[in-house]
Structure 1
Amino acid sequence: MNQTRHEFSDTDRRLLRHFLAAIAYRTQKAVRDAPDEFADFRAAPGVRTPHQLVRHMSDVLGYARTTFQGGTWRARTLSGFSEEIARFHQLLGSLGEDIETADFGRVTPGQLLQGPLADAMTHAGQLAMLRRLSGSPIPPENFIVATIDADNVGTDQPAATSEDADWYDAEDEPW
Protein backbone atom coordinates (compact mmCIF):
# COMPACT_ATOMS: atom_id res chain seq x y z
CA MET A 1 0.00 0.00 0.00
CA ASN A 2 1.14 3.54 -0.71
CA GLN A 3 2.99 4.92 2.32
CA THR A 4 2.27 8.55 1.40
CA ARG A 5 0.26 10.30 4.11
CA HIS A 6 -2.87 12.14 2.95
CA GLU A 7 -4.66 14.97 4.72
CA PHE A 8 -8.44 14.88 5.08
CA SER A 9 -10.25 18.21 4.86
CA ASP A 10 -13.24 18.99 7.07
CA THR A 11 -15.47 18.53 4.01
CA ASP A 12 -13.90 15.11 3.35
CA ARG A 13 -14.52 14.10 6.96
CA ARG A 14 -18.17 15.25 6.91
CA LEU A 15 -18.95 13.44 3.64
CA LEU A 16 -17.21 10.22 4.66
CA ARG A 17 -18.92 10.17 8.06
CA HIS A 18 -22.29 10.79 6.37
CA PHE A 19 -21.57 7.88 4.02
CA LEU A 20 -20.79 5.65 7.02
CA ALA A 21 -24.16 6.64 8.50
CA ALA A 22 -25.86 5.83 5.19
CA ILE A 23 -24.24 2.38 5.27
CA ALA A 24 -25.50 1.89 8.83
CA TYR A 25 -29.01 3.01 7.87
CA ARG A 26 -29.25 0.80 4.78
CA THR A 27 -27.76 -2.21 6.55
CA GLN A 28 -30.25 -1.90 9.41
CA LYS A 29 -33.11 -1.50 6.93
CA ALA A 30 -32.01 -4.79 5.33
CA VAL A 31 -31.68 -6.77 8.58
CA ARG A 32 -34.35 -5.16 10.79
CA ASP A 33 -37.18 -7.57 11.61
CA ALA A 34 -35.68 -10.29 9.43
CA PRO A 35 -36.91 -13.80 10.22
CA ASP A 36 -34.49 -15.85 12.33
CA GLU A 37 -33.66 -18.14 9.41
CA PHE A 38 -32.52 -15.18 7.28
CA ALA A 39 -29.02 -15.24 8.81
CA ASP A 40 -28.32 -18.65 7.25
CA PHE A 41 -30.20 -18.18 3.97
CA ARG A 42 -28.08 -19.28 1.01
CA ALA A 43 -29.34 -18.08 -2.38
CA ALA A 44 -27.12 -20.51 -4.31
CA PRO A 45 -24.01 -22.63 -3.78
CA GLY A 46 -20.98 -20.41 -3.25
CA VAL A 47 -23.07 -17.34 -2.35
CA ARG A 48 -22.45 -15.87 1.10
CA THR A 49 -25.21 -16.13 3.67
CA PRO A 50 -26.34 -12.87 5.32
CA HIS A 51 -24.32 -13.86 8.40
CA GLN A 52 -21.20 -14.39 6.29
CA LEU A 53 -21.88 -11.18 4.38
CA VAL A 54 -22.05 -9.05 7.54
CA ARG A 55 -18.81 -10.67 8.79
CA HIS A 56 -17.21 -9.77 5.46
CA MET A 57 -18.51 -6.20 5.82
CA SER A 58 -16.76 -6.10 9.21
CA ASP A 59 -13.56 -7.30 7.51
CA VAL A 60 -13.86 -4.49 4.97
CA LEU A 61 -14.32 -1.86 7.70
CA GLY A 62 -11.52 -3.33 9.81
CA TYR A 63 -9.24 -3.15 6.79
CA ALA A 64 -10.25 0.49 6.27
CA ARG A 65 -9.23 1.20 9.87
CA THR A 66 -5.73 -0.14 9.13
CA THR A 67 -5.26 2.76 6.71
CA PHE A 68 -5.33 5.00 9.81
CA GLN A 69 -4.08 2.70 12.58
CA GLY A 70 -1.66 0.43 10.70
CA GLY A 71 -1.50 -3.29 11.35
CA THR A 72 -3.75 -5.95 9.87
CA TRP A 73 -7.36 -7.00 10.37
CA ARG A 74 -9.24 -10.24 9.94
CA ALA A 75 -12.60 -10.69 11.65
CA ARG A 76 -13.37 -14.08 13.12
CA THR A 77 -16.92 -15.27 12.57
CA LEU A 78 -19.13 -14.70 15.59
CA SER A 79 -21.68 -17.39 16.42
CA GLY A 80 -24.74 -15.14 16.49
CA PHE A 81 -26.05 -12.95 13.69
CA SER A 82 -27.06 -10.21 16.12
CA GLU A 83 -23.52 -10.19 17.57
CA GLU A 84 -22.13 -9.98 14.04
CA ILE A 85 -24.38 -7.00 13.30
CA ALA A 86 -23.38 -5.30 16.57
CA ARG A 87 -19.67 -5.72 15.76
CA PHE A 88 -20.25 -4.27 12.28
CA HIS A 89 -21.88 -1.16 13.77
CA GLN A 90 -19.10 -0.86 16.37
CA LEU A 91 -16.56 -0.88 13.55
CA LEU A 92 -18.54 1.79 11.69
CA GLY A 93 -18.26 3.92 14.84
CA SER A 94 -14.54 3.27 15.26
CA LEU A 95 -13.86 4.08 11.62
CA GLY A 96 -15.93 7.25 11.97
CA GLU A 97 -13.75 8.26 14.93
CA ASP A 98 -10.63 7.55 12.87
CA ILE A 99 -11.95 9.71 10.04
CA GLU A 100 -12.93 12.49 12.44
CA THR A 101 -9.76 12.60 14.52
CA ALA A 102 -6.85 11.30 12.45
CA ASP A 103 -4.68 13.92 10.83
CA PHE A 104 -3.57 11.67 8.02
CA GLY A 105 -4.40 8.40 6.30
CA ARG A 106 -2.43 6.10 4.01
CA VAL A 107 -5.12 6.50 1.35
CA THR A 108 -6.93 9.50 -0.04
CA PRO A 109 -10.55 10.17 0.94
CA GLY A 110 -11.51 9.16 -2.61
CA GLN A 111 -9.69 5.84 -2.29
CA LEU A 112 -11.42 5.15 1.01
CA LEU A 113 -14.77 5.85 -0.65
CA GLN A 114 -14.12 3.89 -3.85
CA GLY A 115 -12.68 0.90 -2.01
CA PRO A 116 -13.90 -0.30 1.39
CA LEU A 117 -16.82 2.10 1.83
CA ALA A 118 -18.32 1.44 -1.61
CA ASP A 119 -17.78 -2.28 -0.98
CA ALA A 120 -19.69 -2.13 2.31
CA MET A 121 -22.55 -0.19 0.69
CA THR A 122 -22.71 -2.76 -2.12
CA HIS A 123 -23.05 -5.51 0.47
CA ALA A 124 -25.84 -3.60 2.25
CA GLY A 125 -27.69 -3.75 -1.07
CA GLN A 126 -26.95 -7.46 -1.35
CA LEU A 127 -28.50 -7.98 2.09
CA ALA A 128 -31.65 -6.22 0.85
CA MET A 129 -31.71 -8.45 -2.24
CA LEU A 130 -31.25 -11.55 -0.08
CA ARG A 131 -34.24 -10.46 2.00
CA ARG A 132 -36.38 -10.54 -1.16
CA LEU A 133 -34.91 -13.84 -2.35
CA SER A 134 -35.54 -15.41 1.06
CA GLY A 135 -39.24 -14.47 0.88
CA SER A 136 -39.08 -11.54 3.31
CA PRO A 137 -38.70 -8.41 1.15
CA ILE A 138 -38.18 -4.97 2.62
CA PRO A 139 -40.44 -2.13 1.48
CA PRO A 140 -39.11 0.41 -1.03
CA GLU A 141 -37.93 3.74 0.31
CA ASN A 142 -36.83 7.08 -1.12
CA PHE A 143 -33.35 7.34 0.41
CA ILE A 144 -32.97 10.99 -0.57
CA VAL A 145 -35.39 11.90 2.24
CA ALA A 146 -34.15 9.24 4.69
CA THR A 147 -33.26 10.47 8.16
CA ILE A 148 -29.53 9.80 8.11
CA ASP A 149 -27.43 11.37 10.86
CA ALA A 150 -23.63 11.29 10.56
CA ASP A 151 -23.43 10.92 14.35
CA ASN A 152 -25.55 7.73 14.32
CA VAL A 153 -23.84 4.64 12.96
CA GLY A 154 -25.25 2.29 15.59
CA THR A 155 -27.92 -0.38 15.35
CA ASP A 156 -30.66 2.00 16.49
CA GLN A 157 -31.50 3.53 13.13
CA PRO A 158 -34.75 5.43 12.50
CA ALA A 159 -37.64 3.85 10.67
CA ALA A 160 -38.19 4.80 7.05
CA THR A 161 -39.12 8.46 6.70
CA SER A 162 -41.56 7.48 4.02
CA GLU A 163 -41.95 4.30 2.15
CA ASP A 164 -42.06 5.08 -1.53
CA ALA A 165 -45.63 4.10 -2.43
CA ASP A 166 -45.11 5.24 -6.02
CA TRP A 167 -42.11 3.00 -6.60
CA TYR A 168 -42.74 -0.11 -8.64
CA ASP A 169 -42.43 -3.42 -6.87
CA ALA A 170 -40.68 -6.18 -8.84
CA GLU A 171 -43.96 -7.80 -9.84
CA ASP A 172 -45.42 -4.46 -10.98
CA GLU A 173 -42.61 -3.28 -13.26
CA PRO A 174 -43.99 -1.69 -16.43
CA TRP A 175 -41.59 -3.57 -18.73
Structure 2
Amino acid sequence: MDNQMFRHFLAALSYRTTKAIKGAPDHYPSMNIGKEVRQPVEILNHMTFLMAYVISCYKEYSLDEFRNLHSWNSEVERFYDTLEQLDQVLEEGTLPMKRTVQQLLHGPLADAMTHVGQLTLLRRLADSPVEYENYMNAEIHAGQIRPNQK
Protein backbone atom coordinates (compact mmCIF):
# COMPACT_ATOMS: atom_id res chain seq x y z
CA MET A 1 0.00 0.00 0.00
CA ASP A 2 1.53 3.31 -0.97
CA ASN A 3 1.38 6.30 1.35
CA GLN A 4 -1.49 7.93 -0.56
CA MET A 5 -3.65 4.80 -0.17
CA PHE A 6 -2.60 4.55 3.48
CA ARG A 7 -3.60 8.20 3.97
CA HIS A 8 -6.95 7.51 2.28
CA PHE A 9 -7.52 4.65 4.74
CA LEU A 10 -6.89 7.07 7.64
CA ALA A 11 -9.41 9.51 6.16
CA ALA A 12 -11.96 6.69 5.86
CA LEU A 13 -11.26 5.63 9.45
CA SER A 14 -11.79 9.21 10.60
CA TYR A 15 -14.97 9.60 8.55
CA ARG A 16 -16.52 6.40 9.87
CA THR A 17 -15.48 7.16 13.44
CA THR A 18 -17.04 10.61 13.16
CA LYS A 19 -20.27 9.02 11.97
CA ALA A 20 -20.21 6.69 14.98
CA ILE A 21 -19.58 9.34 17.63
CA LYS A 22 -20.99 12.65 16.36
CA GLY A 23 -24.27 13.57 17.99
CA ALA A 24 -24.16 10.66 20.42
CA PRO A 25 -26.33 11.03 23.51
CA ASP A 26 -24.70 12.14 26.76
CA HIS A 27 -24.85 8.67 28.30
CA TYR A 28 -23.11 7.05 25.32
CA PRO A 29 -19.41 7.58 26.19
CA SER A 30 -19.65 5.77 29.51
CA MET A 31 -22.46 3.30 28.85
CA ASN A 32 -21.79 -0.12 30.30
CA ILE A 33 -23.41 -3.10 28.61
CA GLY A 34 -21.73 -5.94 30.45
CA LYS A 35 -18.82 -7.43 32.27
CA GLU A 36 -15.46 -6.81 30.58
CA VAL A 37 -17.07 -4.96 27.65
CA ARG A 38 -15.30 -1.70 26.87
CA GLN A 39 -17.22 1.53 27.15
CA PRO A 40 -17.18 3.79 24.06
CA VAL A 41 -14.66 6.13 25.73
CA GLU A 42 -12.37 3.14 26.33
CA ILE A 43 -12.75 1.96 22.73
CA LEU A 44 -11.87 5.40 21.37
CA ASN A 45 -8.87 5.57 23.70
CA HIS A 46 -7.70 2.20 22.40
CA MET A 47 -8.14 3.33 18.78
CA THR A 48 -5.99 6.37 19.51
CA PHE A 49 -3.36 4.12 21.09
CA LEU A 50 -3.35 1.96 17.95
CA MET A 51 -2.70 4.98 15.74
CA ALA A 52 0.05 6.17 18.12
CA TYR A 53 1.60 2.72 17.85
CA VAL A 54 1.66 3.03 14.06
CA ILE A 55 3.43 6.39 14.40
CA SER A 56 5.98 4.69 16.66
CA CYS A 57 6.72 2.25 13.84
CA TYR A 58 7.89 5.19 11.71
CA LYS A 59 9.70 7.32 14.26
CA GLU A 60 10.56 7.63 17.93
CA TYR A 61 7.23 8.25 19.63
CA SER A 62 6.21 7.74 23.25
CA LEU A 63 3.11 5.65 23.82
CA ASP A 64 2.91 6.27 27.58
CA GLU A 65 0.42 9.15 27.42
CA PHE A 66 -2.04 7.03 25.45
CA ARG A 67 -2.41 4.42 28.18
CA ASN A 68 -4.41 6.78 30.41
CA LEU A 69 -8.12 7.35 29.96
CA HIS A 70 -9.39 10.94 29.72
CA SER A 71 -12.81 12.56 29.40
CA TRP A 72 -14.85 11.83 26.29
CA ASN A 73 -14.17 15.24 24.74
CA SER A 74 -10.44 14.89 25.43
CA GLU A 75 -10.40 11.39 23.93
CA VAL A 76 -12.19 12.61 20.80
CA GLU A 77 -9.67 15.43 20.40
CA ARG A 78 -6.71 13.08 21.01
CA PHE A 79 -8.07 10.67 18.41
CA TYR A 80 -8.18 13.34 15.69
CA ASP A 81 -4.84 14.84 16.80
CA THR A 82 -3.13 11.46 16.60
CA LEU A 83 -4.65 10.66 13.21
CA GLU A 84 -3.42 14.03 11.93
CA GLN A 85 0.07 13.31 13.22
CA LEU A 86 0.10 9.93 11.49
CA ASP A 87 -1.22 11.49 8.29
CA GLN A 88 1.62 14.05 8.44
CA VAL A 89 4.20 11.30 8.88
CA LEU A 90 2.85 9.60 5.77
CA GLU A 91 2.61 12.82 3.79
CA GLU A 92 6.26 13.58 4.51
CA GLY A 93 7.27 10.35 2.80
CA THR A 94 8.64 7.03 3.78
CA LEU A 95 10.74 6.70 6.88
CA PRO A 96 12.39 3.57 8.20
CA MET A 97 9.71 1.29 9.62
CA LYS A 98 9.81 -1.32 12.35
CA ARG A 99 6.91 -3.22 10.72
CA THR A 100 5.82 -3.90 7.17
CA VAL A 101 2.86 -2.07 5.70
CA GLN A 102 1.09 -5.44 5.50
CA GLN A 103 1.58 -5.97 9.25
CA LEU A 104 0.21 -2.50 9.97
CA LEU A 105 -2.77 -3.15 7.72
CA HIS A 106 -3.78 -6.50 9.15
CA GLY A 107 -2.79 -5.46 12.69
CA PRO A 108 -3.58 -2.04 14.17
CA LEU A 109 -5.35 -0.54 11.13
CA ALA A 110 -7.82 -3.41 10.71
CA ASP A 111 -8.26 -3.49 14.49
CA ALA A 112 -9.17 0.22 14.53
CA MET A 113 -11.76 -0.24 11.77
CA THR A 114 -13.25 -3.16 13.71
CA HIS A 115 -13.61 -0.86 16.71
CA VAL A 116 -15.54 1.64 14.59
CA GLY A 117 -18.10 -1.13 14.12
CA GLN A 118 -18.24 -1.61 17.88
CA LEU A 119 -18.81 2.11 18.42
CA THR A 120 -21.59 2.03 15.82
CA LEU A 121 -23.25 -0.98 17.45
CA LEU A 122 -23.06 0.69 20.85
CA ARG A 123 -24.77 3.76 19.35
CA ARG A 124 -27.70 1.53 18.38
CA LEU A 125 -27.78 0.07 21.89
CA ALA A 126 -27.81 3.64 23.23
CA ASP A 127 -31.08 4.18 21.29
CA SER A 128 -29.29 6.54 18.91
CA PRO A 129 -28.45 4.57 15.76
CA VAL A 130 -26.11 6.00 13.16
CA GLU A 131 -27.98 7.16 10.08
CA TYR A 132 -27.57 4.91 7.02
CA GLU A 133 -25.08 6.01 4.39
CA ASN A 134 -23.65 4.30 1.34
CA TYR A 135 -19.94 4.75 2.08
CA MET A 136 -19.06 4.04 -1.55
CA ASN A 137 -20.48 7.51 -2.31
CA ALA A 138 -18.93 9.30 0.66
CA GLU A 139 -16.65 12.29 0.06
CA ILE A 140 -13.49 10.89 1.63
CA HIS A 141 -10.06 12.13 0.55
CA ALA A 142 -6.55 11.57 1.81
CA GLY A 143 -5.58 14.29 4.25
CA GLN A 144 -9.14 14.94 5.47
CA ILE A 145 -8.93 13.90 9.08
CA ARG A 146 -11.11 16.33 11.03
CA PRO A 147 -14.89 16.38 10.56
CA ASN A 148 -16.05 18.84 7.90
CA GLN A 149 -12.47 19.46 6.76
CA LYS A 150 -12.17 20.40 3.10
Do they fold alike, i.e. is TM over 0.5? yes
| 3-state SS of paired residue (2:53) | helix
Q: Assess if the C-alpha contact under 8 Å between 2:55 and 2:61 holds in 1.
A: no
The CA deviation at 1:132 is 0.5
| 3-state SS of paired residue (2:116) | helix
- For these two proteins, the number of residue pairs brought into alignment is 147
Output aligned runs, 1:98-137, within 5 Å. Answer: 98-101=89-92, 102-137=94-129
Where does the alignment leave 5 or more consecutive residues of structure 2 unmatched? none
Moved over 6 A (4+): none
- Cα RMSD of the aligned pairs, angstroms, is 1.6
Which of 56, 78, 81 matches 1:90?
81
Q: Aligned partners of 2:143 and 2:62: how far apart in 1?
A: 26
Q: Aligned partners of 1:131 and 1:49: how far apart in 2?
A: 11
- One-letter amino acid of the counterpart of residue 100, structure 1: E
- The structure having more radius of gyration, on CA atoms, is 1
Where does the alignment leave 5 or more consecutive residues of structure 1 unmatched? 1-10, 159-175
Q: Percent identity?
A: 37
Q: Who is 1:42 aligned against? A: 32
Greater RCO structure (CA 8 Å; 6+ sep) = 2
| 3-state SS of paired residue (1:53) | helix
Q: TM-score by structure 2 length?
A: 0.91
| 3-state SS of paired residue (1:55) | helix
Q: Who is 1:5 aligned against? A: none
Q: TM-score by structure 1 length?
A: 0.78
- One-letter amino acid of the counterpart of residue 123, structure 2: R
- One-letter amino acid of the counterpart of residue 82, structure 1: N
Q: Indicate whether 1:18 and 2:4 are aligned.
A: no
Q: Indicate whether 1:27 and 2:17 are aligned.
A: yes
Q: Assess if the C-alpha contact under 8 Å between 2:24 and 2:128 holds in 1.
A: yes
| 3-state SS of paired residue (1:148) | coil
CA gap of 1:109–1:67, structure 2 versus 1, over 3 A, is: same
